[in-house]
Structure 1
């Protein structure tokens, strides 16, 4: 029944200069300030219609657009592979959003998220890192490998996700847009500037990419951190299923290897090629 429902209600996507529509969800888009920060060549758009995307991918993009419109951060779960990152980059290209990327590991520290101290012209200066730049400029921060985050960076991530706040090493303090605007109205720009407050853009979003733990190696997310995200499973074909499909081909067809982590659309294309080979072999008989 579920397959019949999905087949009867296919999701279509359309994109124009000022808005994007996927199914029944529409989002207005704006031209990015810096085009070099926007992902490229992850989508094919012909005559305002999004092409070459499977129904599962379109549904993932539709879900992400819903959460973006609600102002919520997202957590994409799935098997190891590039599928989760590809879906995130497709969404950013579709909505023309600027990207800041951080690959988390056990060696990631607070300085990698906040500020680094570097020497420039014989003077030590603090330079904003990806998380700070994304918050101030209203970009999308992609955190890959969230399950690898160590305990020392979790408080920083928690505060940024929940309160949109962060204390910087140079004395500045990030505050959410609503609170900053209220303080600006009550005390004026000069007083707020003296307090060294920095406004976090209301379009700032976080997309976390991770693996389900404990099935895979890593640290389970703390409940406070996990509750900050809206999670979705990005389904891909597993190794065991790929091997099973590869071993069930007819004897007169060469073996086809299904890559581990392949999306359903890739599997469909490979199976279509196998079907064509079978028809060609039958025609020769």
Structure 2
């Protein structure tokens, strides 16, 4: 927490020498030069003004051995809150940095909605909710109308989503290849099975869902299960499935940089249309 505060105050005061020298070579390459960092600060002052009031501070560890300091504040020239974030590598060097207006959750008329389908979790065993919840701080999907209540699941063991010293290997990720199951009885209305799994850190934004299955659960509830492993999908449009039936395996296809399962419910079978629905799962232990 203190390191993040110190770096924030230094940046706001224009003391950039120490910040630049403490950045990892990768981050320095992304920024280009210390002059670019100074230009970024100058642009922020023109666009957002000055920081006036800190509303929230927190530290996170979303990636193994990387500590992130996140601070939300009111700025004099910004219409809403502004987020400043610093990420620190195990060496103590600055591995990530950004400042931007805080995103706003999409409006929804389904905040009090109760799922009509009898939902189970779409996997067996112990998984971790990487993104999920009602607020932006817990769920970056919430900015999107259709994915307003989406979840990203993966498997964590000993504080890490992978094992060994080579995080570039897909088969080192705990959830890679794990069975993905139907969360409820339904009919398959869409499925894709032929997209490649991405190398770690890369994404396929042209095919956001990647290999996926869409289930019609009835009563205008549609479940999307995405980023499945290439060649693993076992169902086709028109198939009827029961809760717990295997649909495929966890992969890294589509707009995914690390193996995980994306799940969301919405009111339409077409991705990008319809409104997101909350998912109330039954018979699980958190």
On whether the aligned pair clears a TM of 0.5, the verdict is no
TM-score, length basis structure 1: 0.24
Q: Which has the larger radius of gyration?
A: 1
Instruction: Name the TM-score, length of structure 2 as normaliser.
Output: 0.24
Structure showing the higher strand proportion among its residues: 2
